[in-house]
Every structure is written in structure tokens, then in C-alpha cells.
Amino acid sequence: MIFEFDNTYSRLPDAFFTRQGPEPVSQPEVLAWNAGLAQDLGLGAIDMAQAAQIFSGNQTPDGAAPLAQAYAGHQFGHFNPQLGDGRAILMGEIVDATGQRHDITLKGSGRTPYSRGGDGRAWLGPVLREFIVSEAMYHLGIPTTRALAAVATGDAVYRETAQPGAILTRVASSHLRVGTFEYFAARRDHENLKTLFDYAVSRHYPLASDPASFLDAVIERQIKLVTQWMGIGFIHGVMNTDNCHIAGITIDYGPCAFMDQYNPRQVYSSIDQYGRYAYEAQRNIIMWNMAQLATSLVPLMPDQDEAIAAFTAKIHAMPDDFNTQWLRVFAAKLGIANPTEQDRALIAQFLNLMEASQADFTNTFYDLGAGDAAAHFKDQSAFQSWQDTWRARIVDDTTARALMAQSNPWIIPRNHQIEAMINTALNGDMTQLERLAIALTNPYTKQNAFADLASPPTPEQEIKATFCGT
């Protein structure tokens, strides 16, 4: 295996991180391996015994510069000035053949100075969940971190009960979070705040010339991301500012889930008691998170009062921009490429009918595109009348079907299938994981061999809450 590291983050000032390697584990064994991603990263020939050593953290490849990153964050609205990588180690960065830079990070790799009360470890359940869901997200075409490997450690992790430990190798375009900006802003360390800003610009927004245009660009990407999440029924579950990536990619898969029945108030996370991060609330939370980023950027501006006024206006513009982008996403799901404001009512009526019928979000949209969604609705005459209006709105059937086919996935990683996969993996059987991974590689294509994985849960299979599982 070849790693050609080029570690820019480790060349930043000491205040950005603590140099720290992963803690060794007893008996590493590769549970899941992403061969396609390994190839894209140019890792060369890999033998699984060596991969187990490297991706458990037992062996540090030449050129790595392991470190734990410092960051802060608002967790459920409360500011914590000191979070940081409490159970992850950035091993280094690789530039692939296309010139794209990737962080290679081990998650669940032991304690760091930022662990606070935690053990620095992860158990197999959340590691395999992130492996499957982040790769599914990638294949759905939504910006995300990726998963290269899941390695069992051979050591127990103590949660409510003892569980087998595991480590995820996460690959990401960086690990810069809104919380990284908050970290330096809260310390009034404006010199390092400026260094971070310059670094973020060079890594993600080379066209942003100042904090104002940078903020615009981050807001645009976050709106795009969250509307894309909503378009596939995804609920992140912990959109704290430390889990909000500066490049607008999905990061930190914890108690996340795709909804089955359409319910705008859907929450899965067992720790989200008040529905702060419910499906529909995600539109508001992203504005709240961007307001925190804006606040952190103010000190970089020459005139603070002017900056506050200008940045406040940017945040206040978000609802309209969000609604415009949301309209594009949901209109596309109905085969409408250039939506007008009138289409909003058509979409709302469809969603209302779905909600009243407890219709499956994914399958109803897919079946509408495939030609027959009637079976999902309780009130047939209401649906038929909606469908007449919709058909009259569609200008060209072929174009509409093509747009729907690329906007409405046939399969998403369903919560009950992930739980079932974790349970079989706990018994040492990785075949369900492999099957899920393969099915989710082509999410927009109907694959009869995987029909069981695309079906909604029966009432007995339904998972009501997803535990944070840290």
C-alpha cells in the first residue's frame, strides 16, 4: 500500500491541534473495505492483513502526521468552547490523481486531549451505520464524507453493555467545521482565526476574496446540501455547529436516518427530545448554524458594525433562498425542471396527501415517476384529482420522466435494514452488509434482486429511535 501524504493541516500553528497518534488495539480485523475508493485514492495493491494494521491505527504509515483537531461548537443550542476530536485522529492528507485533496481519519481510535469524559472509542454498530449511510449518500449524489474501511478492534467498548469495538476510516475533503471558526472566535484569537480563514479559502473556496463572499459561498452550499437531504428524506439528527462542515458536505453520521413514511416532524435521534433537528426543522437549523458562522467571521472585518449589519442581512435572506432551492429540488421530484411559484401548491398538496396516507416517502415518489403511485394513497379520488392537475402541468412526458428518474431514488438505506445488518454483523456475518452496500451503489435503478431492501418496514420492523451510540 502506498500513501503519498501531503499534510497541510499539520503545518498550521500549534493552536489548531494536538499531535497525537491512535491508541493500539488488540486484534484488528477488516470488516468492510471500499475497494473502489481505495483505487480512486491511488493506494495501490492492498493486502487485508496490512490494511487491518494500518486502519486500526496499530501501524502508522510513513509520511503520516497524526493529530487531533481542536474545535468548538453549539450542541443543541449550547456553546461548548472546547470540543475537538475526542475519538478521531487525522492521519494525513492525500491528493488523488484528479488533484482532489482528502483527509484520512480514523474514528474510534482512542483517547485524545479532547476526549473529556469519553473513552475515545466507537462500537461496531455506529461504525457500520456510518460506513453504509455515508457511501449511500455518495452514490445518491449528495456531498459527503466517505468510508474507506471498518475494522474490528478485538477490544470491548462499554456502553449500556459491552460491545465489540470498531474503527472507521473516514475520507473527507477536509474536517473544517463551523465549530472550528467558533473555536478561535470565542478565544478572541483573531490571528489564528485569520489563518483558518485563509486555509479554508485555499482549500474550499479559492474564489472567495473576503469573509463576506466566503459567507455567501458557505451559505449557498449549505442550502444546497440541506435541500438535497430533504429531497431524499434524510434526517441528520445532530446538526450541531461542530457537525456542520464548512464546505457543505454531510459529516458526522450519528443518530441519522432516512424516513420511511412521510412525516415532516419526524425525529429518530433518542437524544433530540424536542425535535430541534426534526426533518422539517433542518431548514431553520441551517440558518441558525450559519448565523453562528457569520458571528465568528465578524472579527475579520475592518468595520465591525458594518459587518454585523451586512452579515445579518445575509442570514435574513436565507429563508427565501432556501425556499427557492427547495422548490427546485421538489419540483424535480415531480418532473418539473423550471418551477414557478404556482408549483409550490402542487408540491404541498402532494406532500399533504402523502402525510395523510402515511405514504412511504421514497417509494411514493419513485412509483409516481415509474407511472403508478395510486396504491400509496388512502383517498383515491383526492389523489386522482391531484394527479390530473399534475399531468396537465407536465409539458413533456419524456423529459419529466427522465428528471424524475434522476431525482427519486429507488432505494435508500432504511433504518430497519441497517439495524438488521448490524445484528448479523455482531454475529460475525458480514453478508448483509455487503449486500446492502452493493444495492446502494445504484440507488436510482430498480434492482429486482434487492426488492426486499427497498421495502418499507412492517410495523414490527419499524425502528422508532436511533441511539447516538457513541
Residues that bind ligand AMP (CB under 6 A): 83-87, 114-115, 118-121, 238, 243, 252, 254, 470
Q: Find all residues with CB under 8 Å of 206, minimum gap 6, and list them.
A: none
Q: How far is the CB of 315 from Mg ion (least distance, A)?
A: 23
Would you count residue 93 as binding Mg ion (CB under 5 A)?
no
Q: How far is the CB of 220 from ligand AMP (least distance, A)?
A: 24
Backbone angles phi, psi at 316, to 5 degrees: -65, -20
Q: How far is the CB of 239 from ligand AMP (least distance, A)?
A: 10
Any idea what DSSP says for residue 103?
E
Amino acid letter at 289? N
Q: How far is the CB of 86 from ligand AMP (least distance, A)?
A: 2
- Residue 238's binding partner among Mg ion, ligand AMP, none (Cβ under 5 to 8 angstroms by kind) is ligand AMP
Q: In 3-state terms, what secondary structure has residue 75?
A: strand
| Residue whose C-beta lies closest to Mg ion | 252
Is 110 or 443 the residue whose CB approaches Mg ion more closely?
110
- Residue 83's binding partner among Mg ion, ligand AMP, none (Cβ under 5 to 8 angstroms by kind) is ligand AMP
User: What CA–CA distance (Å, rounded) separates 445 from 411?
Assistant: 8
| DSSP characters over 207-231 | T--SHHHHHHHHHHHHHHHHHHHHH
User: What CA–CA distance (Å, rounded) separates 287 from 293?
Assistant: 10
| Residue whose C-beta lies closest to ligand AMP | 118
388 catalytically annotated: no
- Which residue is catalytic, options 103, 155, 242, 367? 242
Of the residues 7, 34, 243, 266, which one makes contact with Mg ion according to CB under 5 A: 243
Would you count residue 130 as binding Mg ion (CB under 5 A)?
no
Residue pair 325/350 in contact by the 8 Å Cβ criterion: no
User: What CA–CA distance (Å, rounded) separates 407 from 401?
Assistant: 10
- Residue 470's binding partner among ligand AMP, Mg ion, none (Cβ under 5 to 8 angstroms by kind) is ligand AMP
Of the residues 155, 252, 272, 360, which one makes contact with Mg ion according to CB under 5 A: 252
Q: Spell out the alpha helix ranges (H) of 55-188.
A: 124-140, 178-186
H helix or E strand, kind and range, residue 156: strand 146-158
Would you count residue 69 as binding Mg ion (CB under 5 A)?
no
Q: How far is the CB of 291 from ligand AMP (least distance, A)?
A: 20
User: What CA–CA distance (Å, rounded) separates 142 from 413?
Assistant: 14
Contacts 24+ apart (CB under 8 A), 434-438: 434/32, 436/132, 437/32, 437/131, 437/132, 437/135
Q: How far is the CB of 207 from Mg ion (least distance, A)?
A: 28
- Residue 87's binding partner among Mg ion, ligand AMP, none (Cβ under 5 to 8 angstroms by kind) is ligand AMP
Is 66 or 254 the residue whose CB approaches Mg ion more closely?
254
Would you count residue 250 as binding Mg ion (CB under 5 A)?
no
Is 150 or 454 the residue whose CB approaches ligand AMP more closely?
150
Could you list the residues that contact Mg ion (CB under 5 A)? Answer: 243, 252
List residues with catalytic annotation: 242
